[in-house]
A and B are shown apart, each in its own frame.
Chain A
Amino acid sequence: MNQILQKEKLNESVVKMVVSAPKIARKAKAGQFVIVMSHENSERIPLTIADADKEMGTVTIIYQIVGASTLLLDSLQVSDELFAFTGPLGKPSEIEGLKKVCVVGGGVGCAIAYPMAKALHAQGSEVCVITGFRNKQLVILEKEFQAVSDRFILMSDDGSAGRKGLVTEALDELLEQESFDEVIAIGPLPMMKYVCLCTKKHQTKTMVSMNPIMIDGTGMCGGCRLSVGGKMRFACVDGPDFDGHEVDFDEVINRLSAYHDFERHAYEKTCHLLNREG
């Protein structure tokens, strides 16, 4: 049903997959996600939709191989079928009417920041993009971002690509000099947390895309709950986008670590299994 049509390595651990899913492609909007199961007994993994092509009936996902489930997903090749591919879930990002936006992407989060920048660019907004990576080897989507932004700032932790430093440094300098309608930040939780601290200082509205632990993705399990403005919200049906100044990041960071031991163990076991089979 959901055949893998293309697969491409973007860096050593980040992979882009184009999947046949006409019904989802017809409806998908920037900011929404799909639930992916690679095999019958796999975990249900939520992945944000990186691109969708209505005419071709395809949906693009970009994932980082971080654990057993993404490793198993990555064991599938072009022409293989995914066991389950459900969506589009969550509310689309609200970008209408924004005239000047700064999009901040960190690491594999750039996979989601890119369609956002693209959609903003397509509606005529002025788009400034800041992306950050640990080093040159991990940089993804550089050309793509350049094509959809008015300004593009590349940062790396070690200075091996673009400027040396964190995205927040570049953002802080930028906000000192000019103002934006909104900042959109997508990346690891600590990055989003610090981006929000920075933009709060400059009183600039900031939206973040949350990708917490979830199972069904339709409001049933409550595993993805987080505190936003002191209220409990479910990322799957109320989000995944939230006002970053309202999100309790420390709580989400804690919840996300719930299964670290299990995950490390499962990853090693799966590595071992795949090596033996491969």
Chain B
Amino acid sequence: MIPFITAGDPAPELTVPLMHALVEGGADIIELGVPFSDPMADGPTIQRASERALVNGMSLRKVLALVSDFRATNSDTPVVLMGYANPIEAMGVDRFVAAAGAAGVDGVLVVDYPPEECEAFARTLKAGSMDPIFLLAPTSTEQRIREVATIGSGYIYYVSLKGVTGSGALDFDDVAARMPQIRQGVGMPVGVGFGIRDAESARRIGEVADAVVIGSRIIEEIEDSPRDQAVARVKNFVEGVRAALDQIQGAPR
């Protein structure tokens, strides 16, 4: 299970407690969103999270500091940063990779860096012992799957529907049908995200994928909670998903 939260939402001081809550709730990997002013691939929920985080003064530098804080008491759970290219380019790729490595980041997913635009970035990340994580979509071609397999490492994030994060319509049969081809093509674990809303949809995806990614639904939990209850409610929600995944025969993630 790979839960996603946006760093700095609802408040910078809640990000590290939320990360620990995700781990206690059963997260295998944490995707930590780096807020950006123009999150083109995200739906309204994650956009709002980004806007709140930016109002709270969050920046890439501060996100890395939060990862360091998290690492003070958790040295095991992998942390993957997910965000957009511009904040990284503004910091400078080399400086970013050095700082991310030092902070204890394990992987980086840059939404608007498709393989053809980031060969050097992916190389630099790998040289720093971090994984460049890539997206694949229902529309991705065989050739695309091979390209991503060559340049990426860690896992593949399969976007389960055509659209933006948090969208409604998720086609389980379509995901199930595509999974063998993608798995075989990339030779690494495949996480599936975009449109997973609850324990039941997580379980159904978990039956065919190596991991499920849940983002917008957790952000909604944070939005709907009084500030002092956000951490407990997120933990509770994630536990529910974990329990559903654990019912799956075989090797649920």
Q: Do A and B bind each other?
A: no
B binding-site residues for A, Cβ under 8 Å: none
